[in-house]
Structure 1
Amino acid sequence: MSVTERGSDVRPALSRCVAIATGDFADEYWGKRPLLTTARELGQDFSDLFSRDDVDELVSSRALRTPFVRMAKEGDVLPPARYTAPGGFGAEISDQVSSEKVLAEVAAGATLVLQGLHRTWPPIAEFARELAGELGHPCQVNAYITPASSRGFDPHYDVHDVFVLQIHGQKHWTIHEPVHPDPLRDQPWSDHRAAVAARASRTPAIDATFEPGDVLYLPRGWIHSATALGGISIHLTIGVAAYTRDEIVREAIVRAAESAALRSSLPLGFDPADTDALRPIVEATLADLVTALTDAAAEAATTRAVSERLSAKRRTDTPPAPLRPLATVEATAALDASTAAGLSVVLRPGLVPRVSFTEEAVIVRLPAKTVSLPLAAGPAVERMLSRNPVAVSDLPELDLDSAVVVVRRLLREGVVVVVDGG
């Protein structure tokens, strides 16, 4: 696989979404309140990520299937048969997006939703991967394409934070304060449908028309709806599945089972319907729970468990950049002492390997496997995993032939990739 060598003028992903310092955003807005930033404040647009022509290409030429596409009209989700069809001989699968049906539905006022663009559109995939790395939370991206004067979905809230990037046309947004702050993933807006509708009828916290290049940050739980104005509107919604303190609570409760007091039986003959008799049992149990959780050893065990849980979750939620199998095979086969001088490699974007050492080897642990290399390769491995490109001929403490052997192995294992132009 090769990656594009990025210029020094490329901005961090988060700075393309907010015009304030990262620390200020973290302290004043993250998980707390919305932030609307205009294209003028950001000094850029998002034409490098997505456009109207890109929508047409995805619908007409990429053979998208459900659930990577869906449609809605005035709050109702359309059945897939309204916009999908078989692709003809050799492609008879019936849930492929039909450009003719999409044309008819959009012309009639339906909203087109292209889901999972962080998996299907390379510029967005790279941006989402970088943003997830900066935020420390996984991201996914959908595009919403709405005809003039149409509303795709009723007022609702999401169970994840979002960044809304206006790409094309205008869209009028109304934002209302939460009725259920910081909802978890199993607490959807439909559980509070009446309260959401009532809150949406009040004066909004934000009532604005978005222009191309404008960005809205919206914490989970904030109620929103949008209507296109004057023509087709396209915006990207970057969903951020924030890890929450609930993850820590769940691990802490699991660790609490190590306490003998909390594993003891309830009293003989107790009546669970007798709340007066049950209350002191609950009080004593909660006191023992606090004791168990605040013990230094328990805190350390919980911290380790949370670290392992969230590290594994992050590796699953945010996979590394995809590999190019054929290009990698060819690059590996062509690599020798005569070609190494012109070749540079870099850690595969998005990969987070863990490196350890034994008396005889350097161990590179990946999500699904472990790669073992001779101990002498340790400095070279650490140099390649530093996230900065390095020429094969510049790897430390290895002669050129040994460097070629190590790089071949890491290319084949998908740990490093070739830098474009290398």
Structure 2
Amino acid sequence: MLSRCIAVDPHRFAMEYWGHKPLLSSASALPRDFGDLLSPTMVDELIAERGVRAPFIRLAKEGDVLAKDCYLGPAGFGAEMPDQVDSGKVLEQFAAGATIVLQGLHRLWPPLIDFVRQAVDELGHPAQANAYITPPTNRGFDPHYDVHDVFVLQTAGAKRWIVHEPVHDHPLPSQPWTHHRDAIAAQVADEPVIDTVLGVGDALYLPRGWIHSAQAMADTSVHLTIGVSPLTGIDVARTVVDELATLGAFRRSLPMGGDPADRDDIIATVTKVMAEVVEVLRDEASTLSGGAADRLVRRHADRTRPAAVRPLASLQAGENAGATRVQWRHGLTSTIEQADGRVVLRLPDKVMTFPLSCAEAVEALRGGEVADAGSLPGLDHADGTVLIRRLLREAVLVPVTE
């Protein structure tokens, strides 16, 4: 994925650009265009034939988001859902200059499901995919910044991008651009860092916080934004603080008699508790870091999804588990440990246990081995069949298709 979005070596990108500064990558320096991910024909298919519903679609014009009834409507007999897209209404608004925003395409459009899955694997952070379809000479949004990094991929037409330096570095999700409207207005009055037209196959990386606006040129513009929500130092720190809740000393009530309206009293209390936190972090670092790491693993699992399973195919494969080749479900977060003479497999939504004889086989599968019942280490064919059948039914394994 990354090699398609940047025109520099990935190591250089990680050291010089990631989270620091924008990167323009021209189509001539990239290996291919992005038409296989989303073309104008694909946009029409999504709107006209795929039953897209809010909030997977919204419309915006000249900085304002349009009311939903401008482009949504009932789907008719047999699909009585009032939040489905009305393609006729979309056409009317698009012809009048509105930008179509297709959101969460990594959940519903196969080429982008795979592409974003690769992005998560390569970047190590949650990612998403939105598309912006803007009619000629129009713009959808005012100058603003995002609270996540974005890779802009121009798939059709051309769009002028104007980028200014941040007024608030590395903003968190709780620090949106609307908190800095005046500063942004002043910043965009100065010379931009980037003023360029992205054509088909061009790409632009923008770290969060960099101010930008875009306007379509003479033709309809289609571009993708691959948004990346990075883990930050404050995320780690909050997780460590949350782990303090496991210690009784920090769950105790503070002494009676303090004056909650006396700022000096409050400062003294805060200073005392901070000193206690520092001491515990020093003395219990290994214990707290382990618990915090477990919380971060769960957080990542909550913000990403493993590859989808095909229920009918998986159930059929389970019926033929003795002859089915399988592999671990891609992106499924898990940990394996041994406790009370059993192998314990912890998944985001469940805990499974197995006999110790399965330890080597479960570890091999989790490590990426493609196997069948007869090739699982440490198990004979019969026991391997039982293990595979169970893991297929629990959506841990998926059948391998040739």
Q: TM-score, normalised by structure 2?
A: 0.92
Q: How far off its partner does 1:23 sit?
A: 2.6
CA contact (8 A) 2:169 2:209 kept: yes
- Report the CA distance shift for 1:32/1:333 in structure 2 as closer, same or farther (over 3 A): same
Matching residue within 36, 43, 54 for 2:42: 54
Q: 2:360 corresponds to which residue?
A: 379
Measured in 2, the distance between the counterparts of 1:32 and 1:302 equals 30
Paired AA for residue 416 in structure 1: L
Paired AA for residue 356 in structure 2: L
Are 2:346 and 1:365 equivalent residues in the alignment? yes
Paired AA for residue 417 in structure 1: V
After superposition, give the CA deviation of every residue in 1:12-70 in whole Å (9 maximum; x if it has no partner).
x2222223333322221111111111222221122232211111111011111110100
Q: How far off its partner does 1:418 sit?
A: 1.0
Matching residue within 198, 212, 226 for 1:210: 198
- Which secondary structure does the structure 1 equivalent of 2:221 belong to? strand
Paired AA for residue 395 in structure 1: L
Paired AA for residue 226 in structure 1: A
Are 2:201 and 1:220 equivalent residues in the alignment? no
Q: 2:148 corresponds to which residue?
A: 160
Q: 1:120 corresponds to which residue?
A: 108
Matching residue within 303, 314, 331 for 2:289: 303
Q: How far off its partner does 1:290 sit?
A: 6.5
Q: What does 1:248-327 align with in structure 2 at a 5 Å threshold?
A: 248-254=236-242, 272-273=261-262, 277=264, 281=268, 284-285=271-272, 288-289=275-276, 291-292=278-279, 294-297=281-284, 299-327=285-313
Query: Structure 1: any 5+ residue segments left out of the alignment?
Result: 1-12
> Greater relative contact order: 1 or 2 (C-alpha under 8 angstroms, separation 6 or more)?
1
CA contact (8 A) 2:159 2:214 kept: yes
- Equivalences, count: 401
CA RMSD of aligned residues (A): 2.4
Paired AA for residue 208 in structure 1: T
Measured in 2, the distance between the counterparts of 1:109 and 1:137 equals 35
Measured in 1, the distance between the counterparts of 2:260 and 2:266 equals 11
Are 2:80 and 1:96 equivalent residues in the alignment? no
CA contact (8 A) 1:255 1:301 kept: no
Q: 1:175 corresponds to which residue?
A: 163
- Report the CA distance shift for 1:279/1:321 in structure 2 as closer, same or farther (over 3 A): closer
- Report the CA distance shift for 1:333/1:262 in structure 2 as closer, same or farther (over 3 A): closer
Measured in 2, the distance between the counterparts of 1:152 and 1:222 equals 17
Measured in 2, the distance between the counterparts of 1:370 and 1:270 equals 47
Q: How far off its partner does 1:344 sit?
A: 2.1
Paired AA for residue 90 in structure 2: V
Q: How far off its partner does 1:125 sit?
A: 1.2
Are 2:64 and 1:76 equivalent residues in the alignment? yes
Q: 1:135 corresponds to which residue?
A: 123
- Which secondary structure does the structure 2 equivalent of 1:295 belong to? helix
Are 2:386 and 1:405 equivalent residues in the alignment? yes
CA contact (8 A) 1:363 1:370 kept: yes
Matching residue within 329, 332, 351 for 2:332: 351
CA contact (8 A) 1:176 1:223 kept: yes
After superposition, give the CA deviation of every residue in 1:119-165 in whole Å (9 maximum; x if it has no partner).
11122112112211221211111110111111010000111111111
Measured in 1, the distance between the counterparts of 2:311 and 2:248 equals 50
- Report the CA distance shift for 1:267/1:333 in structure 2 as closer, same or farther (over 3 A): closer
After superposition, give the CA deviation of every residue in 1:388-407 in whole Å (9 maximum; x if it has no partner).
43344332233323322221
- Which secondary structure does the structure 2 equivalent of 1:237 belong to? strand
- Which secondary structure does the structure 2 equivalent of 1:387 belong to? coil
- Report the CA distance shift for 1:97/1:284 in structure 2 as closer, same or farther (over 3 A): closer
Q: How far off its partner does 1:117 sit?
A: 0.5
Paired AA for residue 195 in structure 1: A
Matching residue within 181, 192, 199 for 2:180: 192
Paired AA for residue 298 in structure 2: A
Are 2:9 and 1:21 equivalent residues in the alignment? yes
Measured in 1, the distance between the counterparts of 2:305 and 2:154 equals 26
CA contact (8 A) 2:159 2:216 kept: yes
After superposition, give the CA deviation of every residue in 1:370-418 in whole Å (9 maximum; x if it has no partner).
2223322222222222224334433223332332222111111111111
Between stretches 193-202 and 252-261, larger displacement belongs to 252-261
- Which secondary structure does the structure 1 equivalent of 2:362 belong to? helix
Measured in 2, the distance between the counterparts of 1:261 and 1:119 equals 41
CA contact (8 A) 1:262 1:285 kept: no
Q: How far off its partner does 1:283 sit?
A: 8.3
Query: Structure 2: any 5+ residue segments left out of the alignment?
Result: none
User: Could you tell me the percent identity over the aligned residues?
Assistant: 46
Q: How far off its partner does 1:315 sit?
A: 0.6
- Which secondary structure does the structure 1 equivalent of 2:219 belong to? strand
Paired AA for residue 371 in structure 2: V
